[in-house]
Chains A and B, each alone.
Chain A
Amino acid sequence: QVQLVQSGAEVKKPGASVKVSCKVSGNILSEMSIHWVRQAPGKGLEWMGGFDPEDGETFSAQRFQGRVTMTEDTSTDTAYMELSSLRSEDTAVYYCATGGGSYYSPFDFWGRGTLVTVSS
């Protein structure tokens, strides 16, 4: 059974960066497609980006391009999502999710989410 364990809540000032981690167990990270989804308070789900293990490429939503960086440390089976130039609208719960080895899969497994609060 795949489990995704995320890092704890963060409070950041506008303009700062945040890095959220997602540790995978039950499977090998390098063979998995990890996606990042966020949810602002009272709002819906918004896909931010994901990794395609078949071609080794990372894709991000156009609105986050230039601000989001997704990386992986296969030695610890941990995926990371870093969002820079934070603004108040980035206050949200950030989830990692996966459907297994294919980028084009539904998201069977989700982390519990990491609350990021951006406030001066």
Chain B
Amino acid sequence: EVVLTQSPGTLSLSPGERATLSCRASQSVSSRYLAWYQQRPGQTPRLLIYGTSSRATGIPGRFSGSGSGTDFTLTISRLEPEDFAVYYCQQYNRSPPTFGQGTKVEIK
């Protein structure tokens, strides 16, 4: 199974700052099959990015994804108050689909 390791575990930032989240895979993942989800407290996960860099419907442009092979990045260009949440990467290239353990973006 593909193990995804996210870093850092927690990111403490202020509104307006840039957030950079990392997701590293234990083996190569096709860029077509890497997604990012956001989960706000008490809410269901929401798809943000799929295919490494494509934004899902309704996702604002401040969210962007990049990467290839085993290293992927989610960037939030300027944090809004509603962006403080937990973010998960997921690979769906090989079964079983797997998630990273999550990165919490908290208000500094």
A residues adjacent to B (C-beta < 8 A):
35, 37, 44-47, 50, 59, 61-62, 95, 97, 99, 103-108, 110-113
Query: Which of A45, A104, A106, A113 lies at the interface centre, i.e. has the most chain B CB atoms within 10 A of its CB?
Result: A106
A104 and B99 contact, CB distance less than 8 A: no
Given known A-B contacts A110-B44, A110-B45, A45 and B50 have beta carbons under 8 A apart: no
Contact A108 B99 (CB under 8 A): no
With A106-B35, A106-B90 already in contact, the answer to whether A45 and B99 are too (CB < 8 A) is yes
For chain B, the count of residues having a C-beta within 8 Å of the partner chain is 25
B47 touches A108 (CB 8 A): yes
Let me know if B47 and A44 touch, CB within 8 A.
no
Report 6 cross-chain contacts, Cβ distance below 8 Å, ordered by A residue.
Answer: A37-B45, A44-B99, A47-B97, A50-B97, A95-B44, A107-B47
B101 with A106: CB separation less than 8 A = no
Q: Which residues of B contact A (CB under 8 A)?
A: 1, 33, 35, 37, 39, 44-47, 50-51, 56, 86, 88, 90, 92-93, 95-102
**A contact patch SS:** loop
Taking a contact as CB atoms under 8 Å apart, the answer to whether B50 and A106 are in contact is yes
Using A47-B96, A95-B44 as known contacts, list a sample of 19 further A-B pairs with CB atoms less than 8 Å apart, ordered by residue number in A.
Answer: A44-B86, A44-B100, A44-B101, A45-B90, A47-B98, A47-B99, A50-B97, A59-B95, A59-B96, A62-B96, A95-B45, A97-B45, A104-B95, A106-B50, A106-B56, A107-B47, A108-B56, A110-B44, A110-B45
Residues of B within 8 A of A104 (CB): 33, 92-93, 95
- Across the A-B interface, give the 6 residue pairs with the lowest CB-CB distance, nearest first: A106-B35, A106-B50, A45-B99, A110-B44, A44-B102, A44-B101
